[in-house]
Amino acid sequence: MPNPRLAPDDLLPLDRRHVWHPYASPATPAPVYPVLSARGVRLQLADGRELIDGTSSWWSAVHGYNHPLLNAAAQAQLAAMSNVMFGGLTHPAAVKLCALLARLTPGDLERVFLCDSGSVAVEIAIKMALQFWQAQGRADKHKLLTVRGGYHGDTFMAMSVCDPVEGMHQLFSGVLAQQYFAPRPAPRFGEPCTDEHIAELRHLLATHADIAALILEPIVQAAGGMWFYSADYLRRARELCDEFGVLLICDEIATGFGRTGALFACDHAGISPDILCVGKALTGGYLSLAATLCRERVTAGICEGGGALMHGPTFMGNPLACAIACASVELLISQPWQREVQRIEALLQRELEAARGLPGVRDVRVLGAIGVIEMNEVVDVARAQEEFVQRGLWVRPFGRLIYTMPPFIIDDADLTAVARGMVAVAAQARA
């Protein structure tokens, strides 16, 4: 077994031989950077360099790394038990977490199904919707409606509601379930939603009686393009679901727990979905954990058909993950998180504006603790990554996007370095 403190020259050959990294081909390996430790907002590389983390470990480490309160929660739970099956058993950490989520999430989402990851949370939400309608004698309602530009995960039903053209899953298009797609929401965040903006969504709902649920990423379409859309659109979508008797699923895996400036993105529109998915920041980036919540109407409807939701992950309700999640959520709400996100938003708006007039830049947009420079062309990720690392930054572009979703604890000096690095890399993208 390799020693994790091996020098990069020893570690990387083993990585290239045995490790398959996400969204990467071992046949043409992209550069990877060995990390030995992390604390606060900094990653310590094996070669001694330090990087300011501008991505929060794929948007999850909102408190930064090695937080003493989260470490203490993990250690205390380890002293009791790290895992126990959730079928037929329960434990304090899971019960406390479910009650906490039911209290904090929008509306009357009273029932919580714990699971392993965001993609699985979406799969469970879809199962809930389909079982609900089956129990009502409406097995014909088995299709999903969504909007273009979305991303909901890499498992099969989740892939079926990701953007079929601009998404990452064209390879599987021939075997995925076929769903309905409305245009991407056109009005930007802060703009009104007109009848014309919502017309195609209304038309699809009116003409397809087999739609079980509409699934949306509220306000922010994240991995599908970092598009920020009108809260009014989300509010009107909720109204259309009620009008046509369709469930609304909101995927807040990326947006939940303060990222957009509201505790949940649904709060911007003052709406509550029938089913809600959360994950990522749920444990502060410590362990993989997600949850799917639903209204009592959905719970009761499923129970009419026998009561059992047909899903049961081996590590469902893992005590260690649940204990850390409780500590992470309590830490967040005990602090002035909204003020910190507003601070991040103001600084990103000020610093990223310098990119707006650069050649090759299509758009610059900021919402909450999310800052985006959108290019006209696809970014050379390996080249951009190396440039960021040389600047002491960890920012990972994808597609046409150079973006940051930093930990909420990042200070102004580090955030300024991230933002100015993004502008510099955008300026060099066409060089």
Active site residue ranges: 23, 151, 251, 280
Give the span between the Cα atoms of 314 and 398, in whole angstroms: 33
In contact, 303 and 318? CB cutoff 8 Å: no
Q: Count Cβ atoms within 10 A of the Cβ of residue 257 and give its class: 0-12 exposed, 13-18 middle, 19 or more buried.
A: buried
Q: Count Cβ atoms within 10 A of the Cβ of residue 25 and give its class: 0-12 exposed, 13-18 middle, 19 or more buried.
A: exposed
Structure tokens given for 133: 């309608």
User: What values do phi and psi take at 371, rounded to 5?
Assistant: -125, 135
Give the span between the Cα atoms of 216 and 227, in whole angstroms: 12
Residues 6+ apart with CB under 8 A from 260: 219, 220, 268, 367, 368, 369, 370
> Parallel, antiparallel, or unpaired: how do β-strands 50-53 and 42-45 relate?
antiparallel
Q: How far is CA 300 from the centre of its chain?
A: 28
Burial 204-215 (b: 16+ CB within 10 A, else e): bbeeeeebbbbb
In contact, 324 and 70? CB cutoff 8 Å: yes
300 strand-pairing partners: none
Q: How far is CA 137 from the centre of its chain?
A: 34
**Residue corresponding to tokens 């707006």:** 356
Residues 6+ apart with CB under 8 A from 19: none
Burial 38-74 (b: 16+ CB within 10 A, else e): bebbbbbbbeeeebbbbbbbebbbbbbbebeebeebb
Q: Count Cβ atoms within 10 A of the Cβ of residue 178 and give its class: 0-12 exposed, 13-18 middle, 19 or more buried.
A: exposed
